[in-house]
Structure 1
Amino acid sequence: MIHLTRRQLQFASSSILAIAAPFLHAEETSENEIIPPTAIYKVDPSHPDELYSRGVEGEAIIIASIDRTGTVIEPIVDRASHEEFGLSAMIAASEWIFEPATKNGVPIPISVKIPFNFEIAFEHKLNVEMGREVFQELDVPVIPSFELDKAPEARHIPLFDEFYPEELENTGKTSAVSLEFIINPEGNVINPRIVSISTPGFEEAAMRAISHIRYKPVRFEGQPSYVSMMMPLQFSP
C-alpha cells in the first residue's frame, strides 16, 4: 500500500550531482570536462507499511550505475537506516531516467549516489504517539464551550514544558501559543490547530501538549457532545 499523499519523501537532484564526481568510471584530466548526469524522470519510493504504521522515519542512499543512454543499471544499497527503506529506495531508483553524463560532449557511463529521505507527516506521527486518531473528519454538531453552563473539566493536564522542542533547547526561547481544539465524547482532545503563536518553532510541541489533556466527557442537553475550546499555552526552557 503506497501513501503518496501523506508520506513526504524528499530527495534532491543537486545532491546527486554533488557526489557524482568521486564515482566516475572515466579518467579525468583538466582538459577533459565531465558533466554529471541529470535526473529527468524520478519515481518516489513507497514508505514501507509496517514502518509507516509505527511512525518510523529514516533514510537510504542508493549507488546507481548510469549507462550511456541514461538508464539506471543494477542499483545497490549503499546504506539505509532500515533494510526496508533500502529495498524501497532501490526499487524506485531503478525506474529513474537520466540525461547521461558526458565527457567532451560524448555520453559516458558513470555511477552516482542518490539519497532518499523517508519522512512522515506530523499528523500521522501524533496519531501513532497517542495511539488514537487525533485528527479526524467530523460530520456531527460541535458545541462551542461558551454555550455550556460550565467550562469543560480537565481530568489530566500535563506539564507543558515537558514538550519543549529538543531542537530549541539551550536557545532560551519562549513562546505563547493559542490553540483551538475539540473535546470528543470520550474526553479526548482532537483536531488541535494553532490560532496564534509568538515564536515560530513551537507549533508541533503545542499540538502534542494539548493532545495529552484529558477531560471529563461533556454532555449538552443530556447528550454526549463534541465541544470546541480555545486555550493559551506558554513554553519556557
Structure 2
Amino acid sequence: MYRLAPSISAALSLLAALGLACRASAQEPKSDELIPPVAIYKVDPSHPSELYDRGIEGEAIIIANVDVFGTVIDPVVDRATHDEFGLAALLAASEWIFEPATKNGVPQAVRVKIPFTFKIAFEHKLNVEMGREVFKEIDVPVTPSFELEQAPMPKFIPAFDEFYPEAFLNTGKSAAVSVEFIVNPDGNVINPRIVSISTPGFEEAAMRAVAHIQYNTIRVQGQPVHVSIMMPIQFSP
C-alpha cells in the first residue's frame, strides 16, 4: 500500500479546507449588503367616496422613512393621480408596520416607496357608465324568452365593435361570445353574464355592449315582465 508523503497530504488537506471556505464564503451574503425592509402589516386605503361614485380609478405613491423598529415615519405623497387618492394613501401608509432593514444583522433606518392602486369593480363602473343599476338583485319571476309566443326584438342595438377592448387593438384577435341577460319592464338590459367565450379578455366588452341594448316593454297577458334572453356577440378587429 502506498502512502502520501506527509507534506503532500498536508498540502491536499489545506487545499480542501480552502475549497470549503471559498464555497461557504460564496454562499454567505456580503457583510455590507443591506437587506430591505419587509411589510408585515398592511392597511388598504379607502377609496374616496366622491371618486368611487364617479367610477374613477387611480394610484398614489408614498415616500416614507422606516425606522429601526419597522415604524413608518414622516410619510409624504410622492405623486397621485388625484389629491384625494394621495390623502387616502397617506393615511393607510402611516399604519403599515415593517420588519426593519438590516445590515450585518443590525436594524437600519431606510427610506422607502409604498405604491397604492385604487381599483373599482367592473360592475360598479358599468353602473356609473350607464347611469343606472345594471347589476341588481331581482325578487320577481323571470320568464325565459323561449316561453314567449314571439322572440323579443330590440329597438336599439349598438355596433358591438365599438366596445372592442383597447388592450387587443392591433392584435387581430376576434371573439365569439354568448351572453345571457334580463330585460326589465323598462326595456333595459340588466344582470348580463358570460355563458361562453372563444377568446378570454372580451368578457367586459361583451357585458358593456349588451348593457346598451334597449327593448320595448315585454308583456305577458298584458302585464310587463322580466325576460331572460341569450344572445351571441361577435367582436372583430
TM-score with structure 1 setting the length: 0.86
Alignment pair present for 1:111 and 2:124: no
> Larger helix proportion, structure 1 or 2?
2
Task: Give the letter aligned to residue 42 of structure 2.
Answer: K
Aligned to 1:55: 55
Aligned-pair distance for 1:32? Answer: 1.0
Within 5 Å, which residues of 2 pair with 1:29-40?
31-40=31-40
Within 5 Å, which residues of 2 pair with 1:85-104?
85-104=85-104
CA distance in structure 2 between the partners assigned to 1:125 and 1:192 by the alignment: 14
CA distance in structure 1 between the partners assigned to 2:226 and 2:64 by the alignment: 53
Aligned-pair distance for 1:122? Answer: 0.5
Runs (4+) off by over 4 Å: none
Task: Give the letter aligned to residue 128 of structure 1.
Answer: V
Q: Over residues 79-112 of structure 1, what are the superposed CA-to-partner deviations in whole Å (9 max), with x where a residue is unaligned? A: 0000000000000000000001111111111110
Aligned to 2:173: 173
CA distance in structure 2 between the partners assigned to 1:55 and 1:205 by the alignment: 17
Aligned to 1:11: none
CA distance in structure 1 between the partners assigned to 2:104 and 2:146 by the alignment: 74
Q: Over residues 51-73 of structure 1, what are the superposed CA-to-partner deviations in whole Å (9 max), with x where a residue is unaligned? A: 00000000000001111100101
Aligned to 1:121: 121
CA distance in structure 1 between the partners assigned to 2:141 and 2:221 by the alignment: 13
CA distance in structure 2 between the partners assigned to 1:32 and 1:146 by the alignment: 74
Percent identical pairs in the alignment equals: 74
Aligned to 1:81: 81
CA distance in structure 2 between the partners assigned to 1:140 and 1:81 by the alignment: 43
Aligned-pair distance for 1:31? Answer: 4.3
Aligned-pair distance for 1:153? Answer: 2.1
Structure 2's unaligned 5+ residue stretches are 1-29
Task: Give the letter aligned to residue 178 of structure 1.
Answer: S
Aligned to 1:12: none
Aligned to 2:148: 148
Aligned to 1:136: 136
What SS is found at the alignment partner of 1:92? helix
Structure with larger RCO (C-alpha < 8 A, sep 6+): 1
Aligned-pair distance for 1:155? Answer: 1.1
CA distance in structure 1 between the partners assigned to 2:225 and 2:147 by the alignment: 12
Within 5 Å, which residues of 2 pair with 1:222-233?
222-233=222-233
TM-score with structure 2 setting the length: 0.86
CA distance in structure 1 between the partners assigned to 2:202 and 2:33 by the alignment: 48
Aligned to 1:187: 187
What SS is found at the alignment partner of 1:199? coil
- Asked whether the 8 Å contact 2:31–2:103 carries over to 1, the reply is no
Task: Give the letter aligned to residue 235 of structure 1.
Answer: F
What SS is found at the alignment partner of 2:46? coil
CA distance in structure 1 between the partners assigned to 2:158 and 2:102 by the alignment: 60
Structure 1's unaligned 5+ residue stretches are 1-29
Aligned-pair distance for 1:152? Answer: 1.2
CA distance in structure 1 between the partners assigned to 2:41 and 2:31 by the alignment: 31
